[in-house]
Amino acid sequence: MEKIIESTELTKTFGDFTAVNKITFDVKKGEIFGFLGANGAGKSTAMRMLTGLLSPTSGAATVAGYDVFTEQEKIKKNIGYMSQKFSLYNDLTLMENITFYGGIYGLSNTQIKERGEKLIERLDLGNIKKKLLKEVPLGWKQKIAFSVATLHNPKVVFLDEPTGGVDPITRRQFWEMIYEKADQGMTVFVTTHYMDEAEYCHRISMMVHGEIHGYGTPKELKKEFNAQNMDEVFIHLARGDQYNLK
């Protein structure tokens, strides 16, 4: 299976502080990969290196076939990115947002029109096409943001806590969209604080203090740590055996 992300001992230090310490993992084509860890474990730093926004200190990694040290601009063109903070323009209409982002990703006018219309049809948004995004209900916005982030058919899309605060129905519809893209061969790299969502991923890595301490399928991890669910795996890894609230 083709590897879309390959990281070998990737490291980032800020002065004396090692934010990411020799992480080694890979993500395959069409895989939904969950990138988990406590607040401050180094997830964001790692993600910024993989998306070409931050230069690593040492190690090696490629994303969509491009080197994270020397080909950062090419990486940016070949990935999609959606942050937890809604990043489309609220003062533009849906179609204007699509045109703007399509343009940035280098799509032709015909492609933008074609894909934009397909997106609107797929999400059943014909009736709000001409509305400003600020008038669109919150639940829809995340789905729109995801669709726009994948408009240029990137090889891999990075989702940073895409479902925070979203209602449970929308959250599930969102995951179905992720499944669909993965089924079509897109690689999905996702962070989340919902541990039930961790189980929706094909494979997972769990970061603790800048290092990867857990790596495998949810089933393998639960077995390895003798846990009922991912919540227990997380707590075990983040705080160790001695962790006990009672």
Q: Which of residues 68 and 190 has its CB atom nearest to another protein in the complex? A: 190
Q: How far is the CB of 72 from another protein (least distance, A)?
A: 28
Q: How far is the CB of 80 from another protein (least distance, A)?
A: 19
Compose the 74-113 pattern: x for residues touching another protein by CB under 8 A, - for all others: ----------x-----------------------------
Q: Which of residues 105 and 158 has its CB atom nearest to another protein in the complex? A: 158
Burial of residue 200 (CB within 10 Å: 0-12, 13-18, 19+) is middle
Closest CA to 147 of 172, 125, 169: 125
- The one-letter amino acid code at 92 reads L
Kindly tell me which residue out of 37, 56, 59, 162 binds another protein, with binding defined by CB under 8 A. 37
Closest CA to 51 of 77, 26, 28, 29: 77
Compute the C-alpha angle 214/215/218, nearest 5°.
95
Q: How far is the CB of 16 from another protein (least distance, A)?
A: 17
Kindly tell me which residue out of 106, 127, 168, 226 binds another protein, with binding defined by CB under 8 A. 168
Compose the 196-215 pattern: x for residues touching another protein by CB under 8 A, - for all others: x--xx---------------
Total binding residues for another protein by CB under 8 A? Answer: 40
Q: How far is the CB of 40 from another protein (least distance, A)?
A: 6
Answer for the pair 13, 59: CB distance below 8 angstroms, yes or no: no
Residue 159 as a binder of another protein (CB under 8 A): the answer is no
Instruction: Enter the tokens of residue 7.
Output: 């990281």
Answer for the pair 186, 217: CB distance below 8 angstroms, yes or no: no
Instruction: Enter the tokens of residue 96.
Output: 């204007």
Residue 167 as a binder of another protein (CB under 8 A): the answer is yes
Binding part of the chain for another protein, among 33-41, 45-53, 72-80, 102-110 by CB under 8 A, reads: 33-41
Burial of residue 180 (CB within 10 Å: 0-12, 13-18, 19+) is exposed
Residue 220 as a binder of another protein (CB under 8 A): the answer is no
- Other C-beta atoms closer than 10 Å to the C-beta of 171 total 19
Q: Provide the angle, in degrees to the nearest 10, between the axes of the packed helices 94-104 and 109-122.
A: 130
Q: How far is the CB of 175 from another protein (least distance, A)?
A: 6
Strands 79-82 and 66-67: unpaired
Q: Which of residues 112 and 159 has its CB atom nearest to another protein in the complex? A: 159
Residue ranges binding another protein (CB under 8 A): 37-40, 84, 137-139, 161, 164-170, 172, 175-176, 179-180, 182-183, 193-196, 199-200, 218-219, 229-231, 234-235, 238-239, 243, 245
